[in-house]
C-alpha cells in the first residue's frame, strides 16, 4: 500500500523514474507535429495554385526534384524545424521522412475530403441547389464526368447511366434530389435529350429542376458547324489536324518535332471548343519553317513508308500552297 501511494504521488508530481523518457517523447511528438504542419501548408499552397508536385527524381538537393521538395529546401533555409528535419534525413537519422509521393497523395486526399465536407455543409445550409454535369475523356481514354466541383469516373455514358451516377452521388453526400432547382448540361444528346437525356430523367423525378442548356457550348457548336459548311475552311483545318496527328502518333516523331520547334507546340482540334483552333493556327503560323523542316526530316528517316509519303506531301504541297496561307 505504501508503494502504491508513493507511485500515485510521483505520477501526480511528474517525478516517476521514466520522467526524462516521457519528456523526450513529448518533445519528439511536438517536433513531428510542427514538421507535419509545415508539410501540410506546402501541400495546400501547391494544390490551391494547381502546381505540379513531383519532378524527375524524388531526392532533396538534386536537380529536377519537383516543386514540393524545392519548397521544402527553401523553407529549410529559414525555419529551424525544417532545418532539423532535413538534417535527420541527410544524415540517415530517420527513414520515414513524410516527403514521398505516398504521403503527398494522402494529404491531398485528406484536404480534398475536408473541402468537400465544407461544400456539402454549405449546400445543406442553403437547402436548394443546382446541378451541372459535363463529360470528357482524359488522356487515358477514361470518361470523366464533372459534377459541380468533383470528377467522377463513369463507364455508362448514356443518359440513364449518367443519371444513375448523379443520383447515387447525391445520396452519398446526403443531398435530397427533390431540392434541386436547376440543372445545366452541354448539348450532347445523352445530356439534353428530350426523351432519354439526363435532364429528362431528372425532370421525371423532380419537375421543379429547371433545365438550361450551356450557351457557350451552343456557340462553339454553331461556329464549328459554320466552318463545316465551307469546303475551304474545312480543308484548311483538316490539314492542320493532319500535321498534328502525324507527329503525335509516335513518341519518336514527336521528338523530331521538338528538336526542330523550340517555341509553340502543336495542338489538336476540338469539335466543341472553338478557341482551340486559334492555338492550332498560331503554332503553324509562327513556326512554319521549323515544322516543314521536321516533316522533311521525317520524310527521309521514318521507317514507315506511309508516314514518309504523308510527311513529304504535307511539306512540299500543303505547306507551300498559297491558298492555304491566304486562309
Would 111 be classed as within a structural domain?
A: no
17 with 64, same domain: the answer is yes
Residue where a domain stops, chosen among 180, 213, 246: 213
Buried b (16+ CB within 10 A) or exposed e, 73-83: eebbeebebbe
- Give tens-digit pLDDT for 232-280: 878 888 888 888 888 888 888 888 888 888 777 777 776 656 666 677 7
- Which range has the worst mean pLDDT, 74-78, 104-108, 147-151, 300-304? 147-151
- Kindly indicate the confidence band of residue 151, based on its pLDDT and cuts at 50, 70 and 90: very low
- Beta strands at 150-153 and 143-147: parallel, antiparallel or unpaired: antiparallel
**Mean pLDDT throughout 82-106?**
89
15 with 70, same domain: the answer is yes
Task: Judge whether residue 20 has pLDDT over 80.
Answer: no
25 with 76, same domain: the answer is yes
Would 58 be classed as within a structural domain?
A: yes
185 with 249, same domain: the answer is no
Would 234 be classed as within a structural domain?
A: yes
- Beta strands at 180-185 and 143-147: parallel, antiparallel or unpaired: unpaired
Q: pLDDT value at position 153?
A: 62
11 with 73, same domain: the answer is yes
Residue where a domain stops, chosen among 58, 75, 106: 106
In whole angstroms, give the CA distance from residue 42 to residue 75.
Answer: 9
Percent of the chain with pLDDT over 70: 91
Split into its structural domains, the chain has a count of 3
Question: Taking the CB of residue 99, how many other CB atoms lie within 10 A of it?
Answer: 19
Residue where a domain stops, chosen among 72, 106, 140: 106
Asked whether 185 and 133 are in contact (CB, 8 A), the reply is yes
- Kindly indicate the confidence band of residue 87, based on its pLDDT and cuts at 50, 70 and 90: very high
Top mean pLDDT of 81-95, 202-216, 237-251, 266-280 is at 81-95
DSSP string, 227-283: HHT-HHHHHHHHHHHHHHHHHHT-HHHHHHHHHH--SPPP----SS-THHHHHHHHH
Task: Judge whether residue 127 has pLDDT over 90.
Answer: no
The mean predicted confidence, pLDDT, of the chain is: 83
**Mean pLDDT throughout 301-320?**
85
228 with 314, same domain: the answer is yes
Higher-scoring residue by pLDDT: 67, 149: 67
Would 115 be classed as within a structural domain?
A: no
100 with 23, same domain: the answer is yes
Would 44 be classed as within a structural domain?
A: yes
81 with 32, same domain: the answer is yes
Top mean pLDDT of 35-44, 127-136, 173-182, 271-280 is at 35-44
Alpha helices in the chain (DSSP H): 2-12, 19-48, 67-76, 80-90, 101-126, 159-172, 189-192, 198-205, 215-228, 231-248, 251-260, 275-285, 288-301, 305-316, 322-326
SS3 64: coil
Would 70 be classed as within a structural domain?
A: yes
Asked whether 98 and 152 are in contact (CB, 8 A), the reply is no
What does pTM read for this prediction?
A: 0.52
In whole angstroms, give the CA distance from residue 299 to residue 315.
Answer: 9
Give the full edge-to-edge strand order of the sheet including 150-153. 150-153, 143-147, 129-137, 180-185, 210-213
Would 113 be classed as within a structural domain?
A: no
Q: pLDDT value at position 63?
A: 87
Residue 41 domain boundaries: 2-106
- Which range has the worst mean pLDDT, 21-30, 82-91, 150-159? 150-159
**Mean pLDDT throughout 184-211?**
85
Amino acid at each position: 500500500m505504501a508503494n502504491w501511494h508513493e507511485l500515485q504521488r510521483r505520477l501526480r508530481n511528474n517525478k516517476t523514474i521514466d520522467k526524462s523518457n516521457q519528456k523526450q517523447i513529448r518533445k519528439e511528438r511536438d517536433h513531428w507535429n510542427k514538421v507535419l504542419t509545415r508539410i501540410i501548408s506546402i501541400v495546400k499552397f501547391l494544390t490551391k495554385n494547381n502546381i505540379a508536385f513531383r519532378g524527375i527524381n524524388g531526392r532533396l538537393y538534386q536537380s529536377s526534384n519537383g516543386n514540393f521538395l524545392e519548397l521544402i529546401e527553401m523553407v529549410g533555409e529559414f525555419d529551424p524545424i525544417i532545418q532539423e528535419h532535413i538534417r535527420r534525413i541527410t544524415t540517415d537519422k530517420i527513414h520515414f521522412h513524410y516527403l514521398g509521393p505516398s504521403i503527398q497523395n494522402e494529404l491531398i486526399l485528406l484536404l480534398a475530403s475536408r473541402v468537400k465536407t465544407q461544400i456539402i455543409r454549405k449546400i445543406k445550409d442553403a437547402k436548394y441547389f443546382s446541378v451541372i454535369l459535363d463529360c470528357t475523356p482524359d488522356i487515358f481514354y477514361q470518361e470523366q464526368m464533372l459534377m459541380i466541383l468533383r470528377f467522377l469516373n463513369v463507364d455508362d455514358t448514356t443518359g440513364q447511366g449518367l443519371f444513375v451516377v448523379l443520383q447515387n452521388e447525391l445520396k452519398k453526400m446526403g443531398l435530397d434530389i427533390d431540392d434541386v432547382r436547376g440543372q445545366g448540361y452541354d448539348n450532347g444528346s445523352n445530356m439534353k435529350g428530350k426523351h432519354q437525356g439526363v435532364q429528362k430523367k431528372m425532370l421525371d423525378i423532380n419537375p421543379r429542376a429547371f433545365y438550361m442548356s450551356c450557351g457557350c457550348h451552343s456557340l462553339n457548336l454553331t461556329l464549328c458547324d459554320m466552318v463545316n459548311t465551307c469546303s475551304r475552311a474545312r480543308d484548311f483545318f483538316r490539314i492542320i489536324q493532319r500535321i498534328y496527328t502525324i507527329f503525335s502518333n509516335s513518341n519518336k516523331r514527336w521528338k523530331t518535332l521538338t528538336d526542330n520547334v523550340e517555341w509553340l507546340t502543336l495542338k489538336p482540334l476540338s469539335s466543341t471548343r472553338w478557341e482551340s483552333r486559334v492555338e492550332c493556327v498560331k503554332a503553324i503560323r509562327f513556326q512554319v519553317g521549323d515544322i516543314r523542316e521536321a516533316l522533311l526530316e521525317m520524310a527521309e528517316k521514318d521507317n514507315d513508308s506511309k508516314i514518309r509519303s504523308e510527311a513529304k506531301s504535307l511539306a512540299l504541297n500543303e505547306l507551300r500552297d498559297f491558298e492555304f496561307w491566304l486562309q
